[in-house]
Amino acid sequence: MTTLSTRTYVKGLAKGKALFLKKGCGHSHEAPQGSPEEEMERLGKAFDRVRNDIGEAAAKAGESLREILSAHLEMLEDPMLHDGIQDKILSGGLSAPQAVKEACEELQAMFDAIDDEYLRARKDDVRDICGQLLSALTEKAGIGPSPIPQGSVLVAEEILPSDAGKVDFNRLGAIVTRLGSITSHAAIIARSYGIPVLMGIPVERINDGDLLLVNALDGTLTVNPDEKTEAEFDKLLAKEMARGAEASSQAFKTAVTRDGKTIMVYANAGSIGDVRKAIEGGADGIGLFRSEFLFMQDESLPSEEKQYEAYRDAVLICNGKPVTIRTLDIGGDKALPCLGLPREENPFLGFRAIRISLARPEIFKPQVRAILRASAHGPVRILLPMITTLDEIRHARSIISQCMNELDRENIAYDKAIPVGIMVETPAAVLMADEFSKEADFFSLGTNDLTQYILAADRGNNAISELYDHMNPAVLRAVSITAKAARESGIPVCVCGEMAADEQAVKPLLESGVDSLSVPAPVIAKTKIIISE
């Protein structure tokens, strides 16, 4: 028996067998898995696989596609590409995926500099090939048997948001990782399923099939427990289940504070399944629909129609309760490969969220039109992420108006008074909250990002998890400043970051003047109880 402990966890208890997600796969920033020679071997296999895939596709393709594919095959054999990657592995000590990524970026930059339109356009072919090589190199090695045995504890170096689609969270009892933090998006997804998570665990001390006792109430993990420890844990599990059942009976009541103030408890959702779970779990509506997960499901962008159907379904499931749909919040730790965005040194400070939407109206407009069309079916609010300047909300509003005009011309129904609010998740939005409160119809405090930006502490970095603390007085002060500005302008203010689900934070948030909370579905009942105490 071994007991391991950590400070980073998403609360809960679970007992189950370890199921390993293969280490070291998944993204291009990974460290080498072996010696440079082994990385070269990995690379060789990836080239073979891509060569094969292109060959097979070309055999089935029509004439014009076949031409493009044979150009891709030629490019795949280009010595400049091979030498560039090889050099980065053998002399630079990079992993194969990282070498591919860097060599491709250099090659693309070269094509960019060429004063010939045709050759410049070949840059897209390079990007395409590099994408295929990267997929072949980083594709997940699978997570074992399918379906996953019910109640398994998934063990991994790290779970990325893009894993969400590959793992059936419904079958997991818990998640244990070495990397990540409680506000990384994988943890947020796990919490929406009510799954306990332990992060910061030395996973090399666990083997596939080990029996694990996951105690994410005190942050400990017991590997292969002795009989006595297991029996004690079983008692704890039974007690926790009884407590959960008691809380559920409160879920459908409206939460009212002791001094008589009604507090709406909304839910955060990333999918239609989440919306259904939230409403069945007593949510007063959806306070944050993270639309980016809809975008991350496919390899191409979802059409206006596909988005409309999803948003409309959410509205119909909510049956008169409000749905707050946040526009695309991609970037940071949420990648969207089909956008083909270049790698950034500081992705959380980079081209993300509203910055992308405003720069790419061909992505933003279909989304806005889809949200507007869904508003014909019930109460919807539009939420803009990562707002830092007044110009951004003005620009977004002008695009929303353009979409409204288009829908008017097309005789398509929508709510003409649809509220447009902003995420307050940057220090700039807090400091200018009085000005923003005159232009936004509501505020939603995104304390996950706000905490990292105020404390200059990466939300996904376990090494500084002690510093990343939403109860830090600086964060609490930011909440108060925002709530005060909202109150003075008469607009509502919600908290939709994970802080709203922290039992210790609920009362301080309400004392600051926050008037609603948005939490993961599994903690709705508990949050309502705390509010009423």
The contact set with ligand PEP (CB under 6 A) reads: 288, 290, 329, 425, 446-449, 496-497
Measured from the CB atom, the residue of 137 and 445 that comes closer to ligand PEP is: 445
Q: Going edge to edge, which strands form the sheet with 152-156?
A: 2-5, 220-223, 211-215, 13-20, 152-156, 172-177, 197-199, 8-10
Considering the complex, what minimum distance in angstroms separates the CB of residue 448 from ligand PEP? 3
CB-nearest residue to Mg ion: 449
Considering the complex, what minimum distance in angstroms separates the CB of residue 295 from ligand PEP? 13
For residues 285 and 269, what is the distance between their CA atoms, to the nearest angstrom?
Answer: 10
Choose among 172, 173, 167: nearest CA to 140: 167
Measured from the CB atom, the residue of 290 and 373 that comes closer to ligand PEP is: 290
Q: Which of 32, 36, 446, 522 binds Mg ion (CB under 5 A)?
A: 446
For residues 325 and 380, what is the distance between their CA atoms, to the nearest angstrom?
Answer: 7
CB within 8 A of 403, min separation 6: which ones? 365, 368, 369, 372
Considering the complex, what minimum distance in angstroms separates the CB of residue 329 from ligand PEP? 6
Q: Catalytic site residue 395? A: no
Measured from the CB atom, the residue of 419 and 446 that comes closer to ligand PEP is: 446
Say how many residues touch Mg ion, by CB under 5 A.
3
Q: What are phi and psi of 7, to 5 degrees?
A: -95, -10
Decide which of ligand PEP, Mg ion, none touches 497; Cβ closer than 5 to 8 Å per partner kind: ligand PEP
Decide which of Mg ion, ligand PEP, none touches 72; Cβ closer than 5 to 8 Å per partner kind: none
Please tell me whether residue 449 binds Mg ion under the rule CB under 5 A.
yes
Choose among 99, 156, 171: nearest CA to 130: 99
The interface region with Mg ion, picked from 195-203, 267-275, 390-398, 447-455 by CB under 5 A, is 447-455
Measured from the CB atom, the residue of 222 and 291 that comes closer to ligand PEP is: 291
Decide which of ligand PEP, Mg ion, none touches 502; Cβ closer than 5 to 8 Å per partner kind: none
Choose among 406, 394, 396, 339: nearest CA to 369: 406
For residues 491 and 54, what is the distance between their CA atoms, to the nearest angstrom?
Answer: 56
Decide which of Mg ion, ligand PEP, none touches 302; Cβ closer than 5 to 8 Å per partner kind: none
Measured from the CB atom, the residue of 274 and 449 that comes closer to Mg ion is: 449
Q: What are phi and psi of 325, to 5 degrees?
A: -100, 120
Decide which of Mg ion, ligand PEP, none touches 290; Cβ closer than 5 to 8 Å per partner kind: ligand PEP
29, 35, 39, 258, 443 from 95: Cα distances, Å: 8, 9, 6, 58, 43
Q: Which of 104, 130, 318, 496 is catalytic?
A: 496
Considering the complex, what minimum distance in angstroms separates the CB of residue 333 from ligand PEP? 9
For residues 516 and 67, what is the distance between their CA atoms, to the nearest angstrom?
Answer: 58
Decide which of ligand PEP, Mg ion, none touches 32; Cβ closer than 5 to 8 Å per partner kind: none
Decide which of Mg ion, ligand PEP, none touches 496; Cβ closer than 5 to 8 Å per partner kind: ligand PEP
Q: What token pair was written down for 436?
A: 């923003």
Q: How many helices (H) and strands (E) does the chain have?
A: 19, 17
Q: Catalytic site residue 82? A: no
Considering the complex, what minimum distance in angstroms separates the CB of residue 404 from ligand PEP? 26
The interface region with Mg ion, picked from 13-21, 272-280, 318-326, 422-430 by CB under 5 A, is 422-430
Please tell me whether residue 287 binds Mg ion under the rule CB under 5 A.
no
Rg (CA), the chain: 25
Q: What token pair was written down for 459?
A: 């939300």
Measured from the CB atom, the residue of 425 and 502 that comes closer to Mg ion is: 425
Q: What token pair was written down for 270?
A: 């990333």
For residues 359 and 379, what is the distance between their CA atoms, to the nearest angstrom?
Answer: 28
Considering the complex, what minimum distance in angstroms separates the CB of residue 383 from Mg ion? 11
Q: Which of 104, 130, 185, 318 is catalytic?
A: 185
Strands 152-156 and 286-290: unpaired
The interface region with Mg ion, picked from 76-84, 135-143, 235-243, 419-427 by CB under 5 A, is 419-427
For residues 500 and 277, what is the distance between their CA atoms, to the nearest angstrom?
Answer: 18
Measured from the CB atom, the residue of 86 and 451 that comes closer to ligand PEP is: 451
- Draw the binding track, 492-511, toward Mg ion (x: CB under 5 A; -: no contact): --------------------
- Packing angle of the helix pair 79-90, 96-113 (nearest 10 deg): 140
214: part of which helix (H) or strand (E)? strand 211-215
Measured from the CB atom, the residue of 223 and 275 that comes closer to ligand PEP is: 275
Decide which of ligand PEP, Mg ion, none touches 39; Cβ closer than 5 to 8 Å per partner kind: none
Considering the complex, what minimum distance in angstroms separates the CB of residue 184 from Mg ion? 12
Active site residues: 185, 496
Binding stretches for Mg ion (CB under 5 A): 425, 446, 449
